[in-house]
Amino acid sequence: MGPFAGLFTLLCVATFFEGFDTKLASLVQPVIGSEFGASTEELGAALGISTIGMSLGFFAILLADSIGRRPVFLAALFAYAVLTLATALAPNLILFTTLQFFARMAMVVELFVAYLILSEEMPSEIRGRVNGLFASIAALGAAVPDGLLAPLDSIGLGWRGLFLIGSLPLLLFPLYLKRIRETSAFLGRAKSASGYGEEFKASARALWSSVHRGRLVRVTGIWLAINFWTGTALYFFTIYTFGDRGWDATDLQRLPWGTIPFGLAGYILSGIAMDRFGRRLTATSYLVAAFAATLLCYRSTDDTSIYLGIFLLYGLGGVWTVITTWTTELFPTEMRATALGLANLLIGRLGLAAGPIVAGQLSAAWQSTPDAVTVLAGVTLLALPLVWSLPETNAIDLRGGTTISGRDSKAP
């Protein structure tokens, strides 16, 4: 990684806190439910509504194709840190949801612009491994809060203390202003004299051209499935264990002992597998395993199996790395951020918003959270035909602004 180590480290620190902060909204649901007097249905709706903010991050990420990766990344980093700090002071569920709506918008923009920066700056032969290692840091950040809730409760800070910790990137922001530079791929792109709106229209028209249209539709379908699965199996875990299994914050303290190593391993292995076996086979393996792990977690009757299930679910979140890397490789530089924004943010993230809402409604109707979640997790299997309809892009060089071409039914 050599000359890129400094950039990689800075992006990892920012994304550790992005993973930390993203986890908080779902982790504290039972706690704020008690404090704010909210039902399971109301908590599911609040989580779904706040997640819609991620979809609206699309309009911000578009700017990365117009004004550059650097300014969009820095603005998103600053915004999510400030909004996370403000969430610590939220007096009710409505304001909590509103602040998280905008915070989660900024978080997802920071994460995916960071992916763009890495994908464009790293050598093609190690891109999968670098992105896998990078994503493992976000997984590490998401695993840490579980073990902190009980200690923070004991000193009187509770869930609000988690959001205070999540705002720490504010202290490092001057360093990011100084050290983050624009990518060579963006600086070397074909420049347009048109404004932001016209550039987006041009990118959208190009994306809807014969080759790109089919890829965009199919990769968007995969993103919808992955987001929907995440919004049910991962976001509903605390609601399930507190409500159906009688767990409390003390039980959550054990989670990092498994979620951290499994999460790190799952994301790192996703990168290694991508470089060795390709995007298709890696995505298939992770999606099938995600369904199986959801069944283990939500259908088991003993705590040991539930712990193992959630450990595996954290690791299988590595499928996000696979599909993010794949999406960036399927489209040329001038429309890469637009394609990623359309596929995952504007449309794909609707699955992340719909998941908790549907799971909450179905849980109430069936009087069973595990039944609802395991049925809905089948969406991962429905994505498999879409995975195998996309072209393999392993080791394609993006630093010169190139992209895969040709028919989608064949590997390059």
375: in domain: yes
The CATH number assigned to the domain holding 26 equals 1.20.1250.20
210: in domain: yes
Supply the mean pLDDT for the chain: 83
401: in domain: no
Looking at the predicted structure, is the pLDDT value of residue 9 above 60?
yes
The per-residue pLDDT for range 28-38, each reduced to its tens digit, is 877 888 888 87
The predicted model gives 146-165 an average pLDDT of 86
397: in domain: no
Looking at the predicted structure, is the pLDDT value of residue 335 above 80?
no
410: in domain: no
Domain tally for the chain?
Answer: 1
197 against 55, higher pLDDT: 55
| Model confidence band, residue 84 (pLDDT cutoffs 50, 70, 90) | very high
Looking at the predicted structure, is the pLDDT value of residue 402 above 50?
no
What is the per-residue pLDDT for 401? 47
Q: Using CA atoms, how far apart are residues 19 and 9, in angstroms rounded to an integer?
A: 15
SS3 at position 367: coil
Burial class (CB in 10 A: 0-12, 13-18, 19+), 6: exposed
Neighbours of 43 (CB within 10 A): 25
133: in domain: yes
406: in domain: no
The predicted model gives 149-176 an average pLDDT of 89
Instruction: Say if CB 166 and CB 54 are below 8 A apart.
Output: no
Give the least confident one: 127-131, 307-311, 317-321, 403-407: 403-407
The per-residue pLDDT for range 307-316, each reduced to its tens digit, is 999 999 989 9
The predicted model gives 351-371 an average pLDDT of 85
Q: What's the token pair of residue 327?
A: 């999406």
Q: Which domain holds residue 58?
A: 7-178+195-387
